Amino acid sequence: MATRRMSDVVQHVRRTLALTDRAGLTDGQLLECFIEHRDAAAFAALVRRHGPMVWGVCRRVLSKYHDAEDAFQATFLVLVRKAAAIMPREMVSNWLYGVAHQTALKARAITAKRRTRERQVMQMPEPAVADQDLWNDLQPLLDQELSRLPDKYRVAIVLCDLEGKTRKEGARQLGCPEGTLAAQLARGRVMLAKRLARRGLALAGGAVAGLLAQNAAVAGVPYSVVATTVKAASVVAAGQWATGLISVKVAALTDGVVKAMLLTKLKQVAMALFLFLGICLGAAEFAYLASAPMQSESVGQKQLEPAGGTTKAKAGKKKGNLDVIV
C-alpha cells in the first residue's frame, strides 16, 4: 500500500513538472505565480531550485537522515503558509535558508528530548567527500555563524557558495550591479572566516568558499523527498492536511516555526513601538525644558511690572496733588 502511494506521488510530481518549464522565471516570478494562482509547477520549480541548499542545511544540523527529511518538508510547508510575507520576492533563497536553519534547530531539539528512545534507529550512511575531517569540523559551526551575518552578506554567500550561482546570475536575481554583489560576497566570506576563527577553526575566506561549493555539489536531494514535499505542499495549499503524506512530526514542526516567526514579528513591532514612544517622550521633555527659561523670564517680568506701575502711579498722584496746591 505504501509503495503504491509513493508511486502515485512520483507520477503526480512528474506530470506537474512536465506541464510547463519554469526554468526561465526568476524566484520572484515563481513566487508570485504560486501566491496568486497556487501554481503547483511554480512551487515545484522553487523546490528543485533551492532544495539542495535547504537539504544541505538540514543535513548539517541534523545527523539522522529521517530528521533531515522531516525538516526539509516542514521548511517548504512553511513557505506555503508564509509565501506572501516574503519581501522582496527575489530574496526567497535567503528567506528559505533562515527558515531551514530554524526548522532544523527545532527538529534537533525535539529529537534530543527523545534520544533515549531512539538509540536503536539506524543512521543513513554519510556520503564520502574530500577533506572529510575539515568538513566535519566546519559543519556544526557553519550555520550558526552564517545565520548571524547581516542579510546583504548572507544572501551573497547563500546564492554563490551554497547554491552555486555565478556572480552574474546572483546579481541579476538581486537586481544589483555585479561589482556590488562581488564586494558583498568577498566581505561576507571574510566576516564568516573571522567568526569561525573565533570558534577555533582557522580558515581563509576562500577556503571556506571552496568547502561550501564542494559539499553543496554533493547535497543532491533524493527524488522521493522532493516528490513527497511537492505533493504535501499542494495539499496544504488547498487548505487540507493529509495524514498519509504529512507526518505528525512534520505538522508540529511547521506549526512551531510559523508560531515562532509570528512571535518574533510581534516582538519587533513591540520594540519599534517602545522606541517610538521613547522618542516622543524624549522630544516632549526636551521641548518642556527648552521652554522653562522663557516661562521663568516671563514670570519675572510680570512680577516686576506691578511694582514699576505702582511707582509711576504714585508719582503721577503726587504731581497731581502739587498741581492742585499750586
> pLDDT (tens digit, 9 = 90+) per residue, 257-288?
999 988 888 888 888 888 888 888 877 777 77
Do the domain assignments include residue 283?
A: no
Top pLDDT among 280 and 71 is at 71
Answer whether residue 115 shows pLDDT above 70.
Answer: no
Does a structural domain hold residue 245? yes
Query: Residue 20 pLDDT more than 50?
Result: no
Count CA within 13 A, CB hemisphere, residue 232.
28
- Could you tell me if residue 233 is inside a domain? yes
In a domain, 146, yes or no: yes
What SS3 class is residue 179? Answer: helix
How far, in Å, CA of 105 to CA of 204, rounded?
27
pTM of structure: 0.72
Q: Could you read off the pLDDT of 27-59 as tens digits, one per residue?
A: 999 999 999 999 999 999 999 999 999 999 999
- CB within 8 A of 186, min separation 6: which ones? 205
Each residue of 172-194: pLDDT tens digit? 988 899 999 999 999 999 999 89
Please check whether residue 284 lies inside any domain of the structure. no
Three-class SS of 230-293: HHHHHHHHCCCCCCCCCCHHHHHHHHHHHHHHHHHHHHHHHHHHHHHHHHHHHHHHHHHHHHHH
| Most confident segment among 50-64, 118-132, 216-230, 280-294 | 50-64
The count of domains in the chain is 1
The verdict on residue 293 lying in a domain is no
Q: Does 164 fall in a domain?
A: yes
Position 306 in a domain: no
CB-count exposure of residue 201 (10 Å: 0-12, 13-18, 19+): middle
Range of the domain at 115: 2-271
